[in-house]
Chain A
């Protein structure tokens, strides 16, 4: 990734929330920043890595990234880590004690929630961590606030000796707006000071520090009430007052420009006194929060009468078109604007594996085998659950394919005796949280066949590097993990570790068949790179000889998006059996010549495009 020459101070730049956070973290004089990629947070660290004069890394998981940041804070340096919402579940073990030790150098944790679930397995609300860990939580509404809050969060962290959460959502991370930027500050690390009572959290030391947690929380409540981040906008239409934070504030302002609004920027601790002031001003109060009724519950507990999720949806975003009808109903009688036309009915276009994706060979092969239970994991290869493969039976959390496979193995009753249990996991997910699960399988004598899909990248988030790629965050050479050695060290017998090229379909088929028959754990490592990274080399594209295609449809089952059906037919065979036919062509411009479809084509109708052109059957002129 090219290094970045930071834009001069006081310029107004068109930044996404993620870019704005990166700029602020750099300006704050941060020395160490660690992260594991995850939508919608990924670009914060990608961007930060391009700035000069700070250390950045891709960590193997979010817990490690937070611990790296804690170590840096312990050395008196400003430190940062960024993750998606589910990442904090992994990192929370560190967080829940970090809140007791507190910080030395300012420590800010950006957590990005996927409100609306565009690229995640759940829609959890990270604002709970503020309350759970008794730490302050800032919620920017747009790029400018993301910048302002991220920068200020470091000073807040140092003043109150606490980690600070910067809670983002997709509509901050991936929204671009104008941002006024400033200068980089210098914050030299103050240095490590030996202080076991502060950092060694054995019960006696931790117990002694616990009361500080609540003293700090009281002080932070004071700050939430009187500080700069929470403000009451009095408005003129006093029928209904709003309490809103994050992008929901922008939606409220857009839809109800005259309404009084308590704008929450520091939403934990909840500034109850400000909410009372709003309540005194208006007839009714509506709390607009994405996604859980957190502030609402807190205010109700404090004795305020407020509305919230009784009139608003429990899930998803709360844009103006959702707010307007709900508010009209709440105010009673007011006319709701006519519903816009319903969405037209168009086929879905779910994400799918890329043309020539090495995972496609794996899923094509798995789809041809019977009596399998296949636990899946998180990454591009989760798409194997979709058509045409339907070759995954689960997706829960990072690394879950391992533990779940063992559970299925140990719990199997009569109905599942003949079934083979497989787990499919990618390289990065394996290193994130899968290795322990494999160790657990070998230690507990489970019988699981693990397919370790090593494509040398964190594919789904854009091909970031990891210890399996042999490159660091800057693309520089780094030690590369040897997966065969690693899984052997985790207890898999050498004979049961197989490395395969997933494009070699017959070999792959044979290897999987052999390994699922073994009565002990085995690991099949697929070793071809993601087609979206530099390691992948395109080959000559293919084309279909139209007059040779018999319409058998075998190639369609590979699932390649470059194979298109041109005509369907139904014939009755001599046996009287009806057979559906699908005649195909190949989108030559999209084909990179992996040859998987060719291997499924009995009449040999799929050939290199040049030779097809030579025969004159099909024009394959490339632009």
Chain B
């Protein structure tokens, strides 16, 4: 995953306000910190709570200077919404990795007929030569019994595409639910495993 000529791994997490983008980025950052990497994380989310775009830039390595990922420099894009993943896909390196939740969220400007939703955003990203894993994380979460598990599914799906072991991410994720009781902890463990499995499948 990590680009060999770059000492820094760049991860872009995108979605819209309220989807858990910032939490996912936070857990990824904690995991990288836990194995001793330097990390910087930045987002512009001033008005994102009102249904706007949220992007979180996550850079990890021996020493990170600028917090921002430049276009064409992201190693991995974690997209919580397909049109948002498409919007930021030019930030990816050639053959970059993409994990995307296929659940579409239609904004009012599309509802009002002012703009069209792209016909197949995932296909657009794929056509650029990116390595895409796409699935309905919501369906997986619902099957496990709680829509709030989407975040854990998504994190599971990127767990084997990181510059550190999947277990580091898993333990950071699960520590968030440590106080919530064994059943919630177990649900998140299952969601994480389901995400990992989905990402491992051929597409």
A interface residues (Cβ-Cβ under 8 A, vs B): 14, 39-40, 114, 116, 118-120, 142, 170-171, 174-178, 247, 250-251, 253-255, 317, 319-321, 340-344, 346-354, 380, 383, 387-388, 460, 462, 532, 556, 559, 561, 563-565, 568, 580, 582, 589, 623
Interface of chain B, main secondary structure: mixed
Contact A342 B47 (CB under 8 A): no
B41→A176 contact, CB < 8 A: yes
For B66, list chain A residues within 8 Å (CB).
Answer: 247, 250-251, 253-255, 319-320
Closest A residue to B141 using CB positions? A623
**Interchain Cβ contacts under 8 Å between A and B, 17 examples:** A14-B39, A118-B46, A120-B46, A170-B44, A175-B42, A176-B39, A343-B71, A344-B90, A344-B124, A347-B109, A348-B109, A349-B53, A351-B17, A387-B112, A388-B112, A559-B108, A561-B107
B113 proximity list for chain A (CB < 8 A): 565, 568, 580, 582
What is the minimal beta-carbon distance from B93 to any residue of chain A, in angstroms? 9
Asked whether any CB of chain A lies closer than 8 Å to the CB of B118, the reply is yes
B95 located at the interface, meaning its Cβ lies under 8 Å from any Cβ of chain A in the complex? no
Are A344 and B50 touching (Cβ within 8 A)? no
**Closest CB in chain A relative to B201 CB, distance in Å:** 24
Would B50 and A380 count as touching, CB distance under 8 A?
yes
Of B81-89, B162-170, B179-187, B190-198, the stretch lying at the interface with chain A is: B81-89
Residues from chain B with a CB closer than 8 A to the CB of A460 are 47, 50
A354 lies within 8 A of B109 (CB) = no
Q: Are A347 and B50 in contact (CB under 8 A)?
A: no
B110 contact set on A, CB distance < 8 A: 347, 565
With contact pairs A250-B65, A350-B52, A568-B113 given, residues A388 and B108 touching in the complex (Cβ less than 8 Å):
yes
Count of residues in B whose CB is under 8 Å from the partner chain = 55
**Contact at B70–A349, with CB atoms within 8 Å?**
no
CB distance from A19 to the nearest CB of B (A): 12
| Pair A178/B16 contact, Cβ less than 8 Å | no
The minimal Cβ–Cβ distance linking A150 to chain B, given in whole angstroms, is 19
Residues in A whose Cβ lies below 8 Å from that of B41: 175-177
Within 8 A of A (CB), among B18-42: 29-30, 33, 38-42
- Determine how close the nearest CB of chain A comes to the CB of B191; give it in whole angstroms: 13
Contact call A119/B108, Cβ cutoff below 8 A: no
**Judging by beta carbons under 8 Å apart, are A350 and B109 in contact?**
yes
B60 to chain A, nearest CB (A): 11
Q: Helix, strand, loop or mixed for chain A's interface?
A: loop
Q: Mark B140-172, 1 if CB is under 8 A from A, else 0.
A: 011000110000000000000000000000000
A349 x B107 contact (CB < 8 A): yes
- A176 and B51 contact, CB distance less than 8 A: no
State which of A39, A118, A178, A319 has its C-beta within 8 Å of the C-beta of B68: A319
In Å, the complex CA distance between A171 and B57 comes to: 11
CB of A347 within 8 A of CB of B39, answer no
Asked if residues A114 and B46 are in contact (CB atoms below 8 Å), the reply is yes
CA distance A103 to B17 in the complex (A): 42
Within 8 Å of chain A (Cβ to Cβ): is B175?
no
With the chains together, A467 CA to B106 CA distance in Å?
Answer: 37
Verify B128–A118 contact, CB threshold 8 A.
no
Q: How far is the CB of B15 from chain A (nearest CB, A)?
A: 10
Contact of B50 among A40, A116, A254, A354 (CB under 8 A): A354
* A170 contacts across to B, CB distance below 8 A: 44, 46
A344 to B67, Cβ gap below 8 A? no
A-B residue pairs, 5 tightest by C-beta? A119-B46, A340-B72, A347-B115, A351-B50, A623-B147
User: Are B43 and A174 in touch, CB under 8 angstroms?
Assistant: yes
B66 to chain A, nearest CB (A): 4
Chain B contacts with A in 108-130, Cβ cutoff 8 A: 108-118, 121, 124, 128
B16 cross-chain contacts in A, Cβ below 8 A: 349
Distance in Å: Cβ of B183 to nearest Cβ of chain A: 17
* Given contacts A321-B71, A346-B83, A556 and B112 within 8 Å (CB-CB): yes
Whole-angstrom distance between the Cβ of B61 and the nearest chain A Cβ: 11
